[in-house]
DNA sequence: TACCTATGTGTAACCGGTTACACATCCCAT
DNA sequence: ATGGGATGTGTAACCGGTTACACATAGGTA
């Protein structure tokens, strides 16, 4: 690998000049610039990221901290971010935090030590003070799937409450009279979705707090919650699950109970992960613009890295109801 | 952040001595060692990974190159590797290559420039020469889910052919008389699985090359292949899909065709990704020890990084048949 | 006693970039 | 003519580690 001194020697200039050409900084005569570029090409030279990192420049590396890549929601986030990062010649370090604050802290420590340029974080556990501390230390941070109230933290999140309302309204329109909700764990997005459900169904005459059960955002949780709900209310005819995984769990439970979806019970999920289209019947769901969230997160992280002053607050993206078979009217063999 | 010179000053020794303590290299008097350690603790010192990287040492970073994290097989690989890497204080850069050789080449270029310590690669497209070239340049490489014949390349892969035989035999045992195969794209693992299927079913009197269709390892592919197969042979009663995704596609197609699984048709997949347990009925499949493959890959990559001389060849791990509902005998409402 | 080896530590160069500062021109306004 | 800003380039220090080499001392052996 050629070094900057090799280039400077070949071009007959000093390393400072080569550096100026590379960084488009300071003054360089056009002729000199071309000579340097020619030398760089001739030597197939590429500046060492490590060396520039040490010299205080960017390392062209960002970190993505997520709870668990095995949760099918996160590969979609990761892919969006990786694509976007790639476009800007950034490289992504993947960190699974398992929602373990200790693991998170350790990771952040290591990442700072590696002088990564910024962090995109999707975590239920991290709190505002920790992020503000990072910012103070000069590490740009963008949050996704999580908001931090009025703290000056840039975060991209979807309109959970409105999405939940759309889901509930859709079930009502499809003729459901008794609509249950499988909620996520007590984290922001789950709470907002619950709120949306209550906005629409809370005033119904048939409403009952027993129509809500917690499913922890997992298939198993959705399965168990569904069994629990039907034990309490055998006449439930609509389920709004707080995410698609739990909707799939509900589907399995209903199959177990001998109920037909959508004939006997209609289901709506949230997120629109690929899994929603993999099962039979395909699941009606509220589509989060995950790819767009990833794109925006990365785009803005780069702005922060480049020192642009941008307003740091919660950005809400619109959701969209995607109607599929699980809430369809047609008789169904399942 | 404290530097090595801060530590050396506080401990009253030279930076060389501090470095010796950090790296357990050379001679250091026990007393001195303790003084240095105390100073390090007092200053909350951690050596800069960037600086050691520049000075020719490891960067404690490895890269994982996979085709696409959206393919549900790869999050499982990624998680195993990340866990293991973490345990040894390594950090993982995630690279989606989309099986695009050009993208792969570019990534490898960037990774070399970042002086990563090694690469774990799962790619259908990369060929032996490129890996051997990397090795020559001093970059340790381990392949997973892919083998390179007799080339001195360390790779971890499962026993595809034997697994396929187990799947086919299982279908026969469950009473299937006409067993079709949905094959993957023309890559090594798919070919081996196809071979295993032929080993068992090729000699059956009812065997016919028309019982094989290609499904490209995707749900859509499995779906289309199934429709195609049944158009040719409406009496197929068993399907061995080359992976779980295609098995799920087959499931959807059979539902479409009004066939009941497992009553009319039994299905066996391959891999045992989480999805196999998410659908109804759950899919019988040949379990690849993905986590173990990841563990071994990382473990051996570290050995290579540390310069240990280890035999570099293909390591095959055993598979296991996991019987679930899709090949069960009970009548089924699906 | 003289010499050798093992032990212990410091100095300074080096990894490959960036950049503050110095210095030299050139051109223009006064 | 002259002072001053814009332009152009080089020298050398610096980022924070590693390590070759030099040097000092201690203990053992011939």
Nucleic strand C near CB of residue A106 (< 7 Å): no
Chain B hits for A278, CB-CB cut-off 8 Å, are 219, 248, 252, 275, 278-279
Instruction: Look at residues B179, B138, B204, B131 and name the one whose alpha carbon lies nearest to residue B327.
Output: B179
pLDDT of residue B205: 73
pLDDT of residue A84: 95
What architecture is the B61-158+290-317 domain classified under in CATH? 3-Layer(aba) Sandwich (3.40)
Kindly report, residue by residue over B266-277, the tens digit of the pLDDT.
Answer: 999 999 999 999
Number of CB atoms found within 10 A of residue A166's CB: 20
Third-level CATH fold of A61-158+291-317:
Rossmann fold (3.40.50)
pLDDT category of residue A332 using cuts at 50, 70 and 90 = very low
Measured between CA atoms, how close is B55 to chain A, in angstroms? 9
Tell which of B278, B281, B326 to mutate to test the A interface (max A CBs under 10 Å). B278
pLDDT category of residue A311 using cuts at 50, 70 and 90 = confident
Nucleic strand C near CB of residue B136 (< 7 Å): no
pLDDT category of residue B328 using cuts at 50, 70 and 90 = confident
Q: What integer best gives the mean pLDDT of chain A?
A: 93
Two structure tokens written together for B109: 């270029």
Give the bases of strand D that a protein CB approaches within 7 Å. Answer: 7-12, 14-21
Q: Do A61-158+291-317 and A4-47 have the same topology in CATH?
A: no
Delimit the domains of chain B by residue range.
4-47, 61-158+290-317, 160-288+321-327
More confident call, B70 vs B1: B70
Measured between CA atoms, how close is A58 to chain B, in angstroms? 11
pLDDT of residue A329: 58
* Low-confidence winner among A129-133, A149-153, B329-333 (lowest mean pLDDT): B329-333
| Alpha-carbon distance values, B205 to A34, A128, B172, B201, B209 (Å) | 73, 69, 13, 9, 12
Chain A hits for B74, CB-CB cut-off 8 Å, are 75
Q: Is the pLDDT of residue B334 over 70?
A: no
pLDDT of residue B325: 93
pLDDT of residue B203: 81
| Cα angle for residues A162, A165, A171 (degrees, 5° grid) | 145
- Round and report the angstrom distance from CA (B34) to C1' (C3): 34
Kindly report, residue by residue over A255-286, the tens digit of the pLDDT.
Answer: 999 999 999 999 999 999 999 999 999 999 99
Q: Is the pLDDT of residue A3 over 70?
A: yes
Beta-carbon contacts of B220 under 8 Å, excluding residues fewer than 6 positions away, are B249
The DSSP bridge pattern shows strands B179-183 and A61-66 to be unpaired
More confident call, B281 vs B334: B281
N-terminal to C-terminal alpha carbon distance within chain A: 62
pLDDT category of residue B331 using cuts at 50, 70 and 90 = very low
Nearest CA in chain B to A2: B113
CB–CB of B280 and A279 under 8 A? yes
| Cα angle for residues A247, B223, B270 (degrees, 5° grid) | 80
pLDDT category of residue B149 using cuts at 50, 70 and 90 = confident
* Low-confidence winner among A312-321, B8-17, B180-189, B325-334 (lowest mean pLDDT): B325-334
Kindly report, residue by residue over B24-57, the tens digit of the pLDDT.
Answer: 998 999 999 999 999 999 999 999 999 999 998 9
Kindly report, residue by residue over B70-106, the tens digit of the pLDDT.
Answer: 999 999 999 999 999 999 999 999 999 999 999 999 9
- Round and report the angstrom distance from CA (A55) to C1' (D14): 8
Residues linked to residue A183 through DSSP beta bridges, in sequence order: A214
CB B229 within 8 A of CB B211: yes
% of chain A surpassing 90 pLDDT: 89
pLDDT of residue A331: 42
Q: Is the pLDDT of residue B119 over 50?
A: yes
Q: Which helix (H) or strand (E) holds B191?
A: helix B188-201
Of B51, B111, B280, which has the smallest distance from its Cβ to A252's Cβ? B280
Nearest CA in chain B to A116: B50
Nucleic strand C near CB of residue A280 (< 7 Å): no
Question: Does the domain spanning B160-288+321-327 belong to CATH 3.40.50.720?
Answer: no
Kindly report, residue by residue over B298-312, the tens digit of the pLDDT.
Answer: 999 999 999 888 888
pLDDT of residue A142: 96
pLDDT of residue B281: 93
Q: Is the pLDDT of residue A136 over 60?
A: yes
Q: How many CA atoms lie within 13 A of B159 on its CB side?
A: 11
pLDDT of residue B161: 97
Instruction: Tally A–B CB contacts below 8 A.
Output: 131
Read off the pLDDT of each residue in A285-307 and give the average, rounded to a whole number: 95
- Round and report the angstrom distance from CA (B8) to C1' (D18): 15
Q: Is the pLDDT of residue B244 over 70?
A: yes
More confident call, A329 vs B144: B144
Read off the pLDDT of each residue in A156-165 and give the average, rounded to a whole number: 96
Q: Is the pLDDT of residue B1 over 90?
A: no
Nucleic strand C near CB of residue B31 (< 7 Å): yes
Read off the pLDDT of each residue in B204-220 and give the average, rounded to a whole number: 89
Measuring from the CA of residue A2 to each C1' atom, give the nucleotide at the shortest distance: C16
Nearest residue by alpha-carbon distance to C1' of C13: B55
Chain A hits for B61, CB-CB cut-off 8 Å, are 93, 114
CB–CB of B70 and A48 under 8 A? no
**Under DSSP, is residue B58 helix (H, G, I), strand (E, B) or coil?**
coil
Read off the pLDDT of each residue in B279-295 and give the average, rounded to a whole number: 95
Nucleic strand D near CB of residue A11 (< 7 Å): no
Q: Is the pLDDT of residue A287 over 90?
A: yes
Residue B282 carries which DSSP code?
P
CB–CB of A248 and B54 under 8 A? no
In the block, residue with structure tokens 């990192």: A53
CATH number belonging to the domain at A4-47, selected among 1.10.260.40, 1.10.287.3510, 3.10.129.10, 3.40.1160.10:
1.10.260.40
Q: What DSSP assignment string belongs to A92-113? A: EEEEE-TT-HHHHHHHHHHHHH
Give the bases of strand C that a protein CB approaches within 7 Å. Answer: 7-12, 14-21
């Amino acid at each position: 690998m050629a070094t900057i001194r090799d280039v400077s020697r070949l071009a007959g200039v000093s390393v400072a000049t080569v550096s100026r050409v590379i960084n488009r900084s300071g003054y360089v005569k056009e002729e000199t610039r071309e000579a340097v570029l020619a030398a760089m090409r001739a030597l197939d030279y590429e500046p060492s990221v490590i060396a520039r990192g040490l010299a205080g420049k960017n390392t062209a590396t960002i970190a993505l901290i997520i709870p668990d890549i095995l949760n099918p929601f996160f590969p979609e986030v990761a892919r969006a971010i990786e694509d976007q990062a790639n476009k800007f010649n950034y490289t992504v370090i993947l960190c699974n935090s398992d929602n373990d604050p200790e693991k998170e802290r350790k990771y952040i420590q290591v990442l700072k030590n590696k002088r990564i340029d910024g962090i995109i974080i999707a975590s239920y556990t991290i709190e505002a003070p920790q992020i503000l501390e990072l910012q103070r230390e000069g590490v740009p941070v963008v949050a996704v799937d999580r908001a931090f109230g009025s703290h000056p933290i840039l975060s991209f999140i979807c309109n959970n409450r409105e999405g939940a309302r759309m889901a509930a309204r859709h079930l009502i329109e499809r003729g459901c009279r008794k609509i249950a909700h499988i909620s996520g764990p007590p984290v922001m997005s789950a709470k907002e979705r619950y709120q949306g459900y209550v906005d629409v169904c809370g005033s119904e005459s048939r409403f009952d707090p027993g129509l809500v059960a917690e499913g922890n955002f997992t298939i198993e949780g959705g399965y168990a919650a569904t069994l629990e709900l039907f034990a309490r209310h055998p006449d439930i005819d609509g389920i709004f699950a707080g995410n698609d995984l739990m909707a799939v769990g509900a589907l399995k439970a209903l199959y177990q109970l001998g109920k037909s979806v959508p004939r006997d019970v209609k289901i709506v999920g949230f997120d629109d992960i690929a899994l929603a289209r993999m099962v039979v019947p395909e699941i009606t769901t509220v589509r989060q613009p995950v790819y767009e969230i990833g794109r925006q997160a990365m785009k803005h992280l780069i702005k922060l890295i480049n020192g642009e002053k941008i307003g740091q607050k919660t950005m809400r993206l619109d959701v969209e109801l995607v109607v599929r078979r699980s809430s369809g009217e047609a008789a169904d063999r399942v």
